[in-house]
Amino acid sequence: MLAAIIIAAFLIRIYYISYTPTWVRQHDVIGFGTGLGQAAFIEYFYEKLRLLDFDPRKIWGFFQPPLHHMLAGLWLRLMVMAGRAVGWSLDTCREKVQVLTLIYSMVTSVYGMRCLKRQGVTGGAFVAASALIALHPCLIQMSGSINNDMLCIMLQVMGMYYFLGWISAQHLRELLICGLCLGLSMMAKLSGIMLAFPMGVIMLVFLIRKARSKGLTDALASYMPGYLLFALISIPLGIWSPVRNYLKFSVPLMYTPKVGEPIEGVTLFQRFFYAGNRIKPFICMAANGDPYDEFNIPLAMLKTSLFGEADFSGVSRWSDTFGWILLFSGAFCALAAAAAMVYLALKKIMPLQTVFMTVYVLFSVAFLIRLSLVIPNFSSQDFRYIAHIIVPAAVMSGMAVQRCKAVIKTAFYALAAVFCSSSLLTYFLAGRVHWE
């Protein structure tokens, strides 16, 4: 069954990128050959093979940390070299940058499954939770998104896996790998720093526990060398790019250009509890002909986690039907994950691992809510900023469900089957316009 899930996950991603060009359903990419956006940033490294030699604020999209763009630029150069032998055009080679993000998405799924195993999830709970990760629509859509989100998410999930291992055994090797993953995730996108907060909480807990039992001196001697090595790896990797831009071009360390469609004329109550007057499963956008941009933050987070900012209405007569099924099953999956966090906390099951994952999820959600309120734009509500929480949410769901009664297990398996089936069908049907 696990092999079938992995094969299905791979095939739907291959199919998705086959009908999705690099300028469709993208974020901050603009498009190759335009000279703007993250596609242009990739082309800069493809052409020059060197760090920026000008103020990144001069070209929109160049302010991002460059890890993904450097790798994608090298990959594009490799594709062009290989393409000469088989007659690929430059545009064909550019489309193959999606192979990288597809790999990132699959690696994320595999490490999500490894997290499940590391937390002792087995049997049907393992299969269902694995399917929720591998076939989650957000990871399907982001497999074709050539911006830096997917690499950042992959590195965060890898960091989570190794940190869960460090919690269990405190092996220095796993802590140092965590530092590498954290630093590289920030080198891909500064939002990778979200992983640092839950890590810091658990590292502090270990230090306090040791200090209470053995004294502060012994605690510092036991943990501080490892913590310092962790910092020496993660901090330089994570901040060298913004520091370089600050020193060379006076770019503020947390610089982000103004972007997005402002949400105006709605109250704080409406941002959380009012659904608007346009009822449909997909995100509401004025650009798509809707009367307003989605402004309810929880609803926008849910919809963008399932459909991104796409509207599949009219692609097929079944699109809305499967869209509604995916929306409701996705909402129930989110509620199940919340219930699982509470259950694991009350039962004190793997307490430190549970605290780590719970803090990771709650901190990430709080971050996105704050972002949505501080920068009241339509795009600031997008779930892609915190898509890494798919893995800890699924892991905790699996941990809780396998300890529940048969009726709850059966209900969870059925929910996972409905969610994953509707995800596959939605993104399969989304390619229908390319069949005709």
Which residue range(s) make up the domain with 345?
260-436
Task: Name every residue whose Cβ is closer than 8 Å to that of residue 3 and which is 6 or more positions away in sequence.
Answer: none
Kindly state whether residue 209 falls inside one of the protein's structural domains.
yes
Question: Quick check: is 41 in a domain?
Answer: no
- Residue 278 confidence (pLDDT): 67
Judge if 337 and 407 occupy the same domain: yes
Alpha-carbon span 220 to 215, nearest angstrom: 9
Picking from 250, 277, 309, the residue at the C-terminal end of a domain is 250
Q: Return d(Cα 203, Cα 231) in angstroms, integer.
A: 12
Count of domains forming the chain: 2
Low-confidence spans in the chain with pLDDT less than 70:
277-278, 433-436
**Domain annotation covers residue 423:** yes
Kindly report the pTM of this predicted structure. Answer: 0.96
Q: Give the tens place of pLDDT for each residue, 120-173.
A: 999 999 999 999 999 999 999 999 999 999 999 999 999 999 999 999 999 999
Domain check: are 244 and 264 in the same one? no
Q: What distance in Å separates the CA atoms of residue 219 and residue 238, rounded to the nearest whole number?
A: 27
Give yes or no: residues 421 and 285 share one domain: yes
DSSP H or E run through 227: helix 216-249
Say yes or no: 272 and 392 in one domain: yes
User: Can you tell me the distance from the alpha carbon of 423 to that of 83, in angstroms, rounded to the nearest whole number?
Assistant: 34
Q: What is the pLDDT of residue 116?
A: 98
Identify whether 51 is part of a domain: no
**Planar angle of CA 31, 326, 123, nearest 5 degrees:** 110
Which of 189, 218, 250 is a domain's end point?
250
379-427 residue pLDDT tens:
999 999 999 999 999 999 999 999 999 999 999 999 999 999 999 999 9
Q: How far is CA 354 from CA 119, 132, 361, 362, in A?
A: 10, 19, 11, 12
Q: Is residue 369 part of a domain?
A: yes
Is residue 109 a part of any domain in this protein? Answer: no
Q: Are residues 351 and 300 in the same domain?
A: yes
Within-domain flag for 139: no
Do the beta carbons of residue 293 and residue 278 sit within 8 Å? no
User: Are residue 408 and residue 312 in the same domain, yes or no?
Assistant: yes
Task: Kindly state whether residues 229 and 279 are assigned to the same domain.
Answer: no
Residues 181 and 268 in one domain: no
pLDDT at 410: 97
Domain end residue (candidates: 204, 229, 250): 250
Tell whether 280 is covered by a domain. yes
pLDDT at 275: 75
Find tokens 């509500």 and name the residue. Answer: 381
Bridge partner residues of 262 (DSSP): 377
Same domain assignment for residues 326 and 218: no
Does 276 lie in the same domain as 412? yes
Residues 418 and 270 in one domain: yes
Q: Same domain, yes or no, for 172 and 228?
A: yes
* pLDDT reported for residue 434: 52
